[in-house]
Amino acid sequence: MIEVARHGAFSVNCVGLERQPFPLSFGVREVDGWWLVSAAAAQARELVDVLTRAANETVVVAGVETYSFLDADDQLWSPARIAAEQGVECAVHRVGVSTTGANGIGEEFLVMHRDDLPRFLEDWYPQNLVLAGVPEGTGPEQLDELAVALDTGDFDVPVLPYVDGARFWYSGHDDCYLAVETNDPALPPALLGRLLALLAGSTLVGDGEDATIGIPEPGEALTRRLLGASPNWAGALGTASEGVLTVELWALTESWRLGQELPGRAGYAATLDLAAGEWRLAVTGA
């Protein structure tokens, strides 16, 4: 069960001048034992517990851009200052190699225990955020290697095999779009399940400013069934009645991109029965 808030990614993002609801999108590829995921829509804090389950004990904040923490001259606070404001104890690493910044990699890394990441992300919105899971005790030289790998990667092939012990990296844009690389095969289906729950919760949550609603996540069997049928999916809210909601799902040949029309009839329907606390999956058409 997760708590879905009123101002989650599916609630605040929309498509086009008509402000159509933002669809779920998910794509995954496996390359040499690493899984590359691209997806939407989710805020980093809506995924943090899923990501850290795939992490080692230590998480690196490798890049931050936000309008939530600006000084009097409209300059972004340093990551270390943001961590101090959030009450998070962490080590600060000044990157000792040149980076282009093209992939959002900063000049200052924060190294913290994975359990402190939710507090770090609490009550603010990162426009761009880069995270990586590394082994406890990772030193300055290894952190610089991580910086180079993430900065020069093109996201079409895995970059973490070149960083000893790294388990995942996450790159989030506009607190909506995300890319993830991991060697944990359980993470892609977990991410898809979380997106389904977030999408359902976005329409069931109340209108109050601080409203939340508890939503059960689909079981791993359901999400693995979907990924067995196709690696690429789009989803949109379907019918809804008292406590029962359907998400229509389309299997795609490639990941959905903003501006693309969804195909005609959905091939699958994932139905949430809130009272029973369960999801069901049905084939609905070609």
- What mean pLDDT comes out for the span 190-202? 95
Nearest Cα residue to 167 out of 183, 178, 153, 180: 183
Q: Which residue has the higher pLDDT, 256 or 222?
A: 222
What pLDDT is recorded for position 15?
66
Q: Does residue 85 have a pLDDT over 60?
A: yes
What pLDDT is recorded for position 20?
66
Q: What's the predicted TM-score (pTM) here?
A: 0.93
Q: Count Cβ neighbours within 10 Å for each residue of 11-22 and write b for 16 or more, e otherwise.
A: bebeeeeeeebb
Least confident of 115-119, 155-159, 168-172: 155-159
- What mean pLDDT comes out for the span 63-69? 93
Instruction: Give the pLDDT confidence of 88-144 residue by residue, as tens digits.
Output: 999 999 998 888 877 889 999 999 999 999 999 999 999 999 999 999 999 999 999
Band the pLDDT of 180: cuts 50, 70, 90.
Answer: very high
Q: Does residue 17 have a pLDDT over 60?
A: no
Percent of the chain's residues with pLDDT above 90: 66
CB neighbours (10 Å) of residue 245?
22
Q: Residue 256, Cα to own-chain centre: how many angstroms?
A: 16
Is 227 strand, coil or helix?
helix
